[in-house]
Structure 1
Amino acid sequence: MAGIYLHIPYCKQRCTYCDFHFSTNLNSKNEMLQAIIKEIELRKNEISSPIETIYFGGGTPSILEPKDLDLIINQLDKYHNLSQLKEVTLEANPDDLTKEKLNYFASTPINRFSIGVQSFFEEDLRLMNRAHNAHEAENCIKLAQDFGFNNLTIDLIYGSNTTTDVMWAQNLKKAVDLGINHISSYALTVEEKTILNRKIESGELNPIDDQHQSDQFDYLVSFLEANGFIQYEISNFGKPGYFSQHNSNYWKGIPYIGIGPSAHSFFGVQRGWNIANNAKYINALKKGILPIEIENLSLKDQYNEMMMIGLRTIFGIDTNSIKDRFGSKIYTHFRKEVEQLHHENLVEEIDSKIILTKKAKFFADGITSRLFYVD
């Protein structure tokens, strides 16, 4: 089974921490939709197997009107086999989930929302420059549930200087009390070329406290585990039956295609990425040209990709496949590094699978890099 990701590159306003590809100018929206429609047509033969998952990301796909989403969904149905579709996720801002839109969504294949709540506290939302307020954050969840949408995930951000430990605990408790079955939670990260970074560099805001973030991550893990959630990926927690099927397929190395500007694709031994420029993306597709770069993955690249993805999940890294797939040289390197990490109590081996220990999860990226193979 395969998946399709669609990148909708528009937002109402710029969040202070965001470095994703998007625009707050919607003047090109209709041209963009036609370009996306064209890309779906041009890439119709890249995946022949039935589509299992579709994910509308961004940007803010909930900014689209019903006619816009109908256009995309109908085009996907025209060129792909959707008969075995299991999960269609739409990323949404709380202020977009109105009764009118939810009534429309209920008539579409969309059966899962990823809601960008980030926090239930006004001071956090103001710091992040979110488009919604705390009341909308809570109310949209209840509204979606009233319309029969129970497969909901919310994003929550921890480690901000505005988020006290008490506030963080209350954020998580509210999410659980609202009956949320999946939570994606990320540390507030300071990326270059963001408003947040400029404010910290200018002294307007204090730098992020690493220990503060680490403490809140530890509380996140323990609280959600105590409330029936499984940490199946470093930043993703789901109750049984509510793991993200689309993202899980990413982490298992299942092929997918990415449609829209800046969208990425993966084909096992190749990866590709579309140009991250709205005007150039639109102009290329007007000419019938796919604005995509393709990279052939060497054995070393494939191994490093497996390390990067596998160690972040409960699925782990299958040691039995390393030697057969990548050869003795890479396997020897892998075993040597794993033994050292095991000695430091950073990984453990269960049923021939390498997984991170509990204490290592906050530092996953650094630990993973130690397993990378470099010529």
Structure 2
Amino acid sequence: MESQVEVCQKARKLTRLYRHSQSEVSVRIIDFPQEESQLIRQSAELLVEAFKQHWPKAWPTMQDALETVHESFAENRLCRVALDDGGGVLGWIGGIESYDGKVWELHPLAVSPRAQGRGIGRMLVEDLEAQVAARGGLTLWLGSDDEDGMTSLGGIDMYPNPLEHLAKIKNLRGHPYGFYQKLGFVITGVMPDANGFGKPDIYLAKRVAQSKESTKNHAAFKLRVNDEIEIRMYEESDAETVFALVDRNREHLREWLIWVDATNSQEVTLQHIRDFERHYENKVALSAGIWLKGELAGAIGVVGYHWHNRVMEIGYWLSASQQGKGIMTKAVSAMIDNAFNNLGLNRVEIHCASGNTRSRAIPERLNFKQDGVMREAGLVNGQFVDKVIYSMLASEWKTYNQS
């Protein structure tokens, strides 16, 4: 049973798993530790190695690359690094503030050749989007050069009408702009001859957060379960209601949930709700209330989306007075339907403490498969607990519903 605050914590850490060659590797994305000289050198080596094929003039020497890494530590910068289990650098990304913080430039993005094709670049970009949004930024943009004819814009005279050529752009040989388009970026412009005749710089941008006014009008997540039950994202006006339910269930929830004691005021709850809104807008997590006949009965959400692998993990909790009525089973079932039918996901996971029999009953009742047990994977009330991993595949869910 995962909490709403755990959803926040996992989204902040953005710790992901990727699968490659039938193995599972942990990827940790953190603020770049500026005092770690070994990581700085590894990151500089990545710049030289990753760009030497198509943009060798970008960082021709280690000294050039080292200067870029150190520049990324400046006050108006963001610098994040992806590390493997052994602390090795898989990739890193930088952000440069402009327009009084409303707009940030993505520069640079480098992924180790040994880790390319495994979703590391996507993770770093999504993490930077969340970091920019958390600082009040609205737009993330970047320039992507074409120095060797990878697009239809390379090697031509774009004047007198550059926009006409831009409107007909074609990706001829795997130019990176295609990667960014898959992440939701759009082409916003071009600078002809930026790097010499016929060598343009292509500009892309993405809105990473809504203005306060547009957020008010933004359709929050709602999912009708049946005539009595609705899953709906919290609004700021729900802070008093949410805190009151947690406060009434403090002893009941404390047994398995680590966030209960820290949720000690309506103000703290309000901040959590604002965090939930931002995580939903950035497509990294979801936290919502379970409303029974209009009254809050519990919570359900997505602890994390892993879009590259089309996987998500569900977490939930229910008020003590509402247990034993089938509410959570129906709510989880509706979330699974939405994941497979509307989001196009392939796998839904539920992680439960091994001793939490009520929480484990939900996936078992819905015919989930038990994949295994992670030993002492959670720390609750000062004690390490094992976590049981359950999963459901889209094909299995279809068969289960038909039967």
TM range (shorter): under 0.3
Task: Indicate the structure with greater helix content.
Answer: 1
* TM-score normalised by L of structure 1: 0.27
Q: Indicate the structure whose relative CO is greater, using CA pairs within 8 Å and at least 6 residues apart.
A: 1
Which structure shows the higher strand fraction? 2
Q: TM-score, length-normalised on structure 2?
A: 0.26
